[in-house]
A = this chain, B = another copy of it.
């Protein structure tokens, strides 16, 4: 392997394996029969090992080293080499033993978590979780960091994001968002009870497909299936899939999961095929990915203009259930702000308090300032403090999320970062796209999608998240855009002064 072309071929080969694993994973979550699990896990593990061997191959490292010094490469080529090299160096830091230990531990922890959640007994998860925390501590030292060990973990999901950044964002949340939510809680109550009637599965499905088509999701380069937990995945920009979940007794579950996952998939469909298999053919970070799903879910999909256009169509699917509802009532109902126990059911404002709680706990665990044994009481105290909610059981409390059992620490903050990026991007789009609301009212999101494509999607990892944000909006991530959006929207909905 000598030149840039060799690098491209090698990088594509690695990527092909990862994409194959994504197909196996997609199948596992959507269609695989019950008994398929055991061998599927083994097949995935084999592919993962092969990919890892290629990713950490000494000759590949040498090639990257050589290409780092190659003056003939253009800017994009240099960017690819630089990012691949960063990845290579990172992967090199893990020993085979660490990888093995991690894989065994996670598989055990996942089982323990599931049992613990089923039996509502945190003790059954305590030991595994404690081992995972220790593993992540070990990892943070192995990867290295400047100030806080948790920085090393944040960097895995959101490159260059630090505890300083996240602290300052959540300081804003505490200073501005929390009082605003309190103000809402003290005002009038929104009736969203019509969501909780019987809504036929097939009709819900069809309406979801309508919404996805309207967004510009290309069904020739993707498809939707049903799975226990909605997710998006991709095997190339020309095959970016989503899943949804349909609860026949709750209409809202399907609608905003479709739009959310559709937003993720639009990002993947917008990455350039010609860059497949290289960093420039990859999304930037979890935060930027989440900015796309949240932008569509909240700024588009929970807007008055959107439902002014789409409510009639929804009503034709369910004329009886929705006969006493109009688009304004619908808009209010889908923006009902209310403290709740479960993160994934939370509204777009209180959601960030759920993330804040997890962030505080994770950081303290990794810093060594909290013990796993204290988690349930700590969790419950924080839910009382930030959401004014009493947690009735660990199943509905500290055991509710899958993330820790998967070994994911540093992941949660990207949900909030992504939402705040979404607000900042949407504010900018509203400036640059004339009459965006009027277009939305006629169901026309073409210009918005074109804007996202041009500003974000086509670049892949050409720019770091922070630089991209500056290029698009003229400044780094700034909480005020989210706060302005929230104030503007909810002051009207709740008639606040």
Q: Which residues of A contact B (CB under 8 A)?
A: 12-13, 16-17, 19-20, 23-24, 26-27, 31-36, 38-40, 42-43, 46-47, 50, 218-223, 225, 235-236, 238-239, 241, 273, 276
Contacts of A34 in B (CB 8 A): 220-221
Distance, CA A24 to CA B27, complexed state (A) = 10
Report the Cα distance A450→B265, complex, angstroms: 47
Give complex CA distance A31, B16 in Å. 19
Whether A220 contacts B19 in the complex (CB less than 8 A), given A50-B50, A235-B43, comes out as: no
B47 touches A223 (CB 8 A): no
Complex CA gap A32/B241 in Å reads 10
- Bound: A17/B48 CA distance, A: 11
List of B residues within 8 angstroms of A218 by Cβ: 35
Closest to A37 in B: B238
Which interface residue of A35, A38, A223, A276 has the most chain B CB atoms within 10 A? Answer: A35
Question: How many copies of the shown chain assemble into the complex?
Answer: 2
Q: With CB as the reference atom, state the residue of chain B lying closest to A225.
A: B31
Note all chain B residues with C-beta closer than 8 A to A222.
Answer: 33
List the B side residues contacting A38 at CB < 8 Å: 236, 238, 273
What is the bound-complex CA distance between A171 and B377, given in angstroms?
84
Cα–Cα distance between A223 and B30 once the two chains are bound (Å):
12
A-B pairs with the 5 shortest C-beta distances? A39-B236, A36-B239, A16-B46, A35-B238, A35-B221
Q: Within the complex, which residue of B13, B24, B223, B239 is in contact with A20, where a contact is CB–CB below 8 Å?
A: B24
Q: A24 CA to B50 CA in the complex, in Å?
A: 17
**A34 closest partner in B (C-beta):** B220
Cα–Cα distance between A419 and B230 once the two chains are bound (Å): 46
Q: B39 contacts A19, CB within 8 Å?
A: yes
Q: Determine if B235 and A12 form an interchain contact, defined as CB atoms under 8 angstroms apart.
A: no
- Cα–Cα distance between A472 and B370 once the two chains are bound (Å): 68
Kindly list chain B residues whose C-beta atoms are within 8 Å of the C-beta of A16.
42-43, 46-47
CA distance A123 to B457 in the complex (A): 45
A239 cross-chain contacts in B, Cβ below 8 A:
32-33, 35-36, 39-40
* A238 interface neighbour in B39, B46, B238, Cβ under 8 Å: B39
Q: Which of B31, B33, B220 makes the CB contact (< 8 A) with A221? A: B33
Q: Among B27, B225, B241, B273, point to the contact of A23 (Cβ < 8 A).
A: B27
Q: Are A238 and B43 in contact (CB under 8 A)?
A: no
Bound-complex Cα distance A46 to B277 (A): 12
Measured in the bound complex, the distance between the Cα atoms of B26 and A239 in whole Å is 15
A-B contact pairs, 22 of them (CB 8 A): A12-B42, A16-B42, A17-B46, A17-B47, A20-B20, A20-B43, A23-B27, A26-B27, A31-B31, A31-B225, A32-B239, A33-B223, A33-B238, A33-B241, A34-B220, A35-B218, A35-B220, A35-B221, A36-B238, A38-B238, A39-B238, A43-B235
